[in-house]
Structures are given as structure tokens and as C-alpha cells.
């Protein structure tokens, strides 16, 4: 499984482990010793990084390169894994993130999990290029990894790498996909466990996650017959954007965990099929990269997480405007992150705790959060001020009363959403919220200056039609596009849209309508909702 020229390294691992075990009784020392002992025995997979047969650590840790950078051994790096003395290696450089960890937008926990290690692969899957450059002052570079050890790290393969390669080799062409659920099935085999954990899971008991899809099964059609449905037009227009079907790509973070192009693959697929994409604030690719991959005239919305420091938010909004964002989608259901229990369990499996012990309290603690616990309706005006002329959408509305408030506060649209079941467990499914809007606030439906979008659990063309019958302008899909791109990049995204278009067309014909604006509540039986 591992590259061959490492027998010497195996011996070195044993030597280092012995030396460490006898010379150090510190926690850090015993943790490293454990790692090296495991390495000597064969391999240890820690935090997605395989430690196996590392070459002998250089005794002289203060060697410097020709460029004057200090050479740091993996052994030395491994000592800096705790809050207060926390280093990570990215692209062969070692960064001291001890201070930055307390304000890292991704939180303290992930840095502690990856502290004292090479985190290159995961880092690039999460952050757009230039991230480190932007933070040079806060994240000092303390040296470079010993080149010999770096070469060994680069050559290592894990059991997971093998599993994914085998799955990819046996993957059929994209035309073998006949429904969106196929993408999910394939993606599970193609993704590293930590990525599957991040994408697929929901909050707490996953009640909201399950109910998002389940509710569609309790809504039935009342099809009408003996009508001419020969020519069907599935297209629509919203926020000044034409769309081939009433579907858009909901913003999802970290698309780069599953395939190297990340969100750019989605952009290409969306461009080829004529649908709109909203890019996440925490996308793996920057808005500049996404815009560069977009077709002429292809519009991209940008999603914003409000930062407790509004200056940071102002900068982020202005950057997005400068990069050509079509609209700003404020996510309002994320004042704090939901407790994603299944994700934590799967991550513990993917990323065993050192010494087999559970994570310490410190490692479980989140610390600083880039999410703002002090949002208010006035933030709509704040965003508008810094994105003049752009549509402002409030995403994450979970009760009909807040739809009315968003309208009053001048939002151009809302997204009924519970964040794909990842935030408040048992937050009612967006389809129920839409149903409540019909009952309690029909005056905000079908307005020229106010759109209602919905996302969560939409998996088929008939789901889309049900939402439109209740007055949604268009619906967003999150996970299906991630999974489609995981298997086949932009071709997967194209295929997903084609499947939805086919299903919407068939559904409209069988329902007795030829244009999406003909859809209405008269086509539904919601008595079992």
C-alpha cells in the first residue's frame, strides 16, 4: 500500500519513537511517540493524514534553506499541536496559527484537529487560493518542512485513497444516471469519509433533514386531463435572470472536498444548461474564479454570512460587488452552527483521536465563531448600502411571519429554508412554511417586487412542481449538485439539470399545464401535509 523506499524510514520511526518515549514525558511527547510507534508498526491514519515510515528526523532542527527559511522536521512540527502553541503545514510551509486560531473563520476546533500536521490537502479543498497571502500578518510562517520528509509525505497513499480510486475506476458514464438519487449513491463511494460527513449530514437527530424530503410524499397532485399539452415551456425568469427551469443551485460551502474544480465545475454545468447559481461565502473557489468560468451573461449570486465584525462583512460585500455578484443572499438561519452529531461521529471515525482517547474538552470547543449572534432586520439596509442596486435576498426563513417581515423590510426575495436540515433540528420543512404562507399571508405571494424561493429536500421534478403550485418562484437544490459534480464534474451538473428538465416536462404534461405560471394550488391535494 505504501511507497517502497521507506524501509529506512520505518527503522527511523522506531528509533525516533524510542528516543521520544524515553526523553520526554510531556503530553505532546507521548502523543508524538504514539504516532511514531504506530508508524513504525505500519501506518497510522490521523486526521486524514497517513503517518507511515517517516524518514529519520534530523537532529539539527535549526538548519536553514538558501532562502534563509528555517527547516522544520515533522517531529518538531508534531510538538505544536495544542492551543497556545499551534502550527500547521501547508504546501511545505509551517505556519504558527496559535493566535489566529482564536479568530479563524472556520473555528478553533478544526485547527486543533490538524495542529502539528501537514494539512495541505484539506486546506486547499476548503479555502480559495490566496487565503494565506491575505493573512500573512496574522499567520506568520515559521519555516519550511524538511524537503526529504516532504517528499515522503507526498508519496504516501492511504487505504481511503485506494478505495476512492477503485470506485472512480468502476464508475460508469454519466448517462448511466437516471435520477438524482443515483448521484448520491455514487458520491458516497467517491468521497473521503470526512467530506461525506460534511455534505450528507444534518443537525442532532436529523429530524429536519428527513422531514424536508418526507413532506413531499404527503402532497398529492390533482391532474387535469383532455387538454392540449403538446408544447411545454419549462422556463421562467426571476430577479431579472432567465432560467431554463425553475431551479437554481443553492449555495453550499467547500465543494472542493469532493472534486478538484470545486464550485467552478458547478458554474460550467449551470452555464451549459441555463440555470442560476448562488456561490457560498465559504466556497472552495473565489467569486473571481467562478466568474472567469462563467459564460457570457451568466449571472452568479453571492451568499453572505454576516460577521460579528461588520467591517469584515462590509469588505466581503464590496469584494463580491467588485467581482460582479448579481445579488446578495444573506443567510439568516446561522447565528450559530447547528450541532451536527452524525458529522461529528463520522469525523471521529475518519479522524481517530490521538492515543485512542476521546477528544479533550479543548479540542471539542469551537471558540471564536465567524457567525453573528446579533443579526437584525436592519441588516437588510446595511447590505443594500454596500451593494447598491443589487437584489438582496434573505435566506433561511422558517416561519410565515418572517416572510411578511422580510417583505416589510424591503428584501427582494426570501428563501424558505432550514439549511438542508443542518441547523435547528425539527425546524419545520420549507414546504410547510410555504403552505402556511398560502394560508396566512397570501398577499406576499406572486408579487412583482418580491419572490419566494424554497430549498431543502427537493429531489425530483415533481417536487419542484409542488413548490411552484404553492407559489414558489423557483427552488434551490444543494446536495444533489455537489454529488453530481463529485462523480462527473460539470457533466454531472449538466446531467442533473437535464434530468430535472425531463421530469418537470413530463410532470407538467401529465398535470395538464404547459407553462409554469399556470401552476397553482388547484393542482394539489395538501390535506395530508
Ligand X SMILES: Cc1cc2nc3c(=O)[nH]c(=O)nc-3n(C[C@H](O)[C@H](O)[C@H](O)COP(=O)(O)O)c2cc1C
What residue ranges bind ligand X (CB under 6 A)?
Answer: 198-199, 212, 250-253, 280-282, 303, 331, 395, 417, 419-420, 422, 455-458, 477-479
Number of H helices, E strands in the chain: 21, 20
Instruction: Give the one entry of ligand X, ligand HEM, none that residue 122 binds, where binding means its C-beta sits below a cut-off of 5 to 8 angstroms depending on kind.
Output: ligand HEM
Residue in 80, 326, 419, 446 annotated catalytic: 419
Q: At what angle do helices 341-350 and 193-200 cross, to 10 degrees?
A: 180
Question: Nearest approach, Cβ of 480 to ligand X (angstroms)?
Answer: 6
Question: Nearest approach, Cβ of 190 to ligand X (angstroms)?
Answer: 15
139 in contact with ligand HEM (CB under 6 A): yes
Q: For the window 81-100, what string marks contact with ligand HEM as x by the rule CB under 6 A? A: -------x-x----x-x---
Q: Which of 31, 127, 326, 371 binds ligand HEM (CB under 6 A)?
A: 127
SS3 118: strand
Q: How distant, in Å, are the alpha carbons of 182, 275, 285, 286 from that of 267?
A: 21, 9, 11, 12
Scanning the structure block, which residue is given the C-alpha cell 446595511? 382
Q: Using CB under 6 A, which of the segments 58-66, 132-140, 225-233, 354-362 binds ligand HEM?
A: 132-140
The per-residue DSSP string of 453-506 comes to EEESS--SHHHHHHHHHTT-SEEEESHHHHHHHHHHHHHHHHHHHHHHHHHHHH
Q: State the chain's maximal CA–CA distance in angstroms.
A: 87
Question: Nearest approach, Cβ of 392 to ligand X (angstroms)?
Answer: 14
Instruction: Give the one entry of ligand HEM, ligand X, none that residue 114 binds, where binding means its C-beta sits below a cut-off of 5 to 8 angstroms depending on kind.
Output: ligand HEM
Scanning the structure block, which residue is given the C-alpha cell 460550467? 268
Q: In the bound complex, which residue of the shown chain has the CB atom lying closest to ligand HEM?
A: 106
What does the buried/exposed string (b/e) look like for 364-384 if buried means 16 or more CB atoms within 10 Å of the residue's CB?
Answer: eeeeebbbbeebeeebbebbb
193 in contact with ligand HEM (CB under 6 A): no
111 in contact with ligand HEM (CB under 6 A): yes
Cell numbers found for residue 341: 452529531
Closest CA to 460 of 472, 485, 477, 444: 477
How many positions of this chain bind ligand HEM (CB under 6 A)?
23
Task: Report residue 438 CA to chain centroid gap.
Answer: 32
SS3 356: helix
143 in contact with ligand HEM (CB under 6 A): no
Question: Nearest approach, Cβ of 128 to ligand HEM (angstroms)?
Answer: 6
Is the Cβ of residue 50 or residue 212 nearer to ligand X in the bound state? 212
256 in contact with ligand HEM (CB under 6 A): no
377 in contact with ligand HEM (CB under 6 A): no
Is residue 419 part of the annotated active site? The answer reads yes
Scanning the structure block, which residue is given the C-alpha cell 443572499? 329
Q: In the bound complex, which residue of the shown chain has the CB atom lying closest to ligand X?
A: 478
Q: Work out the number of other CB atoms within 10 angstroms of the CB of residue 160.
A: 16
What is the Cβ-side half-sphere exposure of residue 216, based on CA atoms within 13 angstroms?
21
Instruction: Give the one entry of ligand HEM, ligand X, none that residue 119 binds, where binding means its C-beta sits below a cut-off of 5 to 8 angstroms depending on kind.
Output: ligand HEM
**Distance between CA atoms of residues 391 and 411, nearest Å:** 8
Instruction: Give the one entry of ligand HEM, ligand X, none that residue 128 binds, where binding means its C-beta sits below a cut-off of 5 to 8 angstroms depending on kind.
Output: ligand HEM
426 in contact with ligand HEM (CB under 6 A): no
Q: How distant, in Å, are the alpha carbons of 29, 125, 327, 360, 392 from that of 79?
A: 7, 25, 46, 17, 47
Instruction: Give the one entry of ligand X, ligand HEM, none that residue 433 binds, where binding means its C-beta sits below a cut-off of 5 to 8 angstroms depending on kind.
Output: none
Is the Cβ of residue 282 or residue 523 nearer to ligand X in the bound state? 282
Instruction: Give the one entry of ligand HEM, ligand X, none that residue 79 binds, where binding means its C-beta sits below a cut-off of 5 to 8 angstroms depending on kind.
Output: none
Catalytic residues: 419
Which residues of this chain interact with ligand HEM, rule CB under 6 A?
Answer: 88, 90, 95, 97, 104-106, 110-111, 114, 119, 122-123, 126-128, 131-132, 135, 139, 253-254, 282
Amino acid at each position: 500500500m505504501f511507497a517502497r523506499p521507506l524501509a529506512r524510514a520505518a527503522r527511523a520511526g522506531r528509533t525516533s519513537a524510542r528516543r521520544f518515549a524515553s526523553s520526554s514525558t510531556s503530553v505532546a511527547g507521548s502523543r508524538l511517540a504514539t504516532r511514531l510507534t504506530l508508524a513504525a508498526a505500519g501506518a497510522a491514519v490521523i486526521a486524514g493524514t497517513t503517518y507511515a515510515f517517516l524518514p529519520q528526523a534530523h537532529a539539527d532542527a535549526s538548519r536553514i534553506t538558501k532562502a534563509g527559511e528555517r527547516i522544520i522536521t515533522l517531529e518538531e512540527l508534531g510538538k505544536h499541536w495544542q492551543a497556545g502553541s499551534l502550527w500547521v503545514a501547508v504546501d511545505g510551509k509551517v505556519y504558527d496559527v496559535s493566535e489566529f486560531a482564536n479568530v479563524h473563520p472556520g473555528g478553533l476546533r478544526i485547527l486543533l484537529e490538524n495542529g502539528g500536521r501537514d494539512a495541505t490537502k484539506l486546506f486547499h479543498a476548503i479555502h480559495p487560493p490566496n487565503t494565506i497571502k491575505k493573512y500573512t500578518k496574522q499567520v506568520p510562517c515559521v519555516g519550511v518542512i524538511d524537503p526529504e520528509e516532504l517528499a515522503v509525505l507526498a508519496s504516501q497513499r492511504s487505504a481511503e485513497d485506494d478505495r476512492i480510486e477503485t470506485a472512480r475506476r468502476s464508475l460508469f458514464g454519466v448517462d448511466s444516471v437516471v435520477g438524482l438519487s443515483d448521484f448520491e449513491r455514487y458520491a458516497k463511494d467517491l468521497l473521503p469519509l470526512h467530506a461525506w460527513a460534511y455534505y450528507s449530514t444534518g443537525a442532532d437527530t436529523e429530524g429536519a433533514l428527513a422531514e424536508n424530503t418526507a413532506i413531499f410524499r404527503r402532497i398529492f397532485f390533482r391532474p387535469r386531463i383532455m387538454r392540449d399539452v403538446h408544447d411545454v415551456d419549462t422556463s421562467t425568469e426571476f430577479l431579472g435572470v432567465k432560467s431554463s427551469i425553475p431551479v437554481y443551485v443553492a449555495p453550499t460551502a467547500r465543494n472542493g472536498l469532493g472534486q478538484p474544480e470545486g464550485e467552478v465545475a458547478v458554474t460550467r454545468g449551470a452555464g451549459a444548461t441555463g440555470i442560476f447559481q448562488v456561490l457560498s461565502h465559504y466556497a472552495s473557489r473565489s467569486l473571481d474564479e467562478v466568474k472567469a468560468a462563467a459564460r457570457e451573461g451568466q449571472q452568479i449570486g453571492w451568499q453572505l454570512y454576516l460577521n460579528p465584525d461588520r467591517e469584515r462583512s462590509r469588505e466581503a460585500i464590496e469584494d463580491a460587488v467588485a467581482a460582479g455578484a448579481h445579488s446578495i443572499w444573506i443567510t439568516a438561519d446561522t447565528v450559530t452552527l447547528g450541532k451536527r452529531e452524525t458529522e461529528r461521529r463520522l469525523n471521529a471515525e475518519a479522524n481517530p483521536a490521538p492515543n485512542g482517547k476521546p477528544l479533550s474538552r479543548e479540542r471539542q470547543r469551537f471558540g471564536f465563531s465567524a457567525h453573528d449572534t446579533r443579526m437584525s432586520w436592519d441588516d437588510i439596509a446595511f447590505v443594500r448600502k454596500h451593494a447598491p442596486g443589487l437584489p438582496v435576498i434573505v435566506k433561511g426563513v422558517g416561519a410565515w411571519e418572517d416572510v411578511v417581515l422580510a417583505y416589510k423590510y424591503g428584501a427582494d426575495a426570501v428563501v424558505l429554508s432550514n439549511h438542508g436540515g443542518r441547523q435547528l433540528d425539527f425546524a419545520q420543512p420549507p414546504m410547510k412554511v410555504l403552505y402556511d404562507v398560502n394560508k396566512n399571508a397570501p398577499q406576499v405571494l406572486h408579487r412583482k417586487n418580491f419572490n419566494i424561493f424554497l430549498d431543502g429536500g427537493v429531489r425530483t421534478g415533481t417536487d419542484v412542481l409542488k413548490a411552484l403550485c404553492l407559489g414558489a418562484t423557483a427552488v434551490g437544490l444543494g446536495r444533489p449538485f455537489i454529488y453530481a459534480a463529485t462523480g462527473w464534474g460539470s457533466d454531472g451538473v449538466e446531467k442533473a439539470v437535464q434530468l430535472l428538465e425531463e421530469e418537470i416536462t413530463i410532470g407538467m404534461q401529465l398535470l395538464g399545464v404547459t407553462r409554469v405560471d399556470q401552476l397553482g394550488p388547484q393542482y394539489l391535494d395538501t390535506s395530508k401535509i
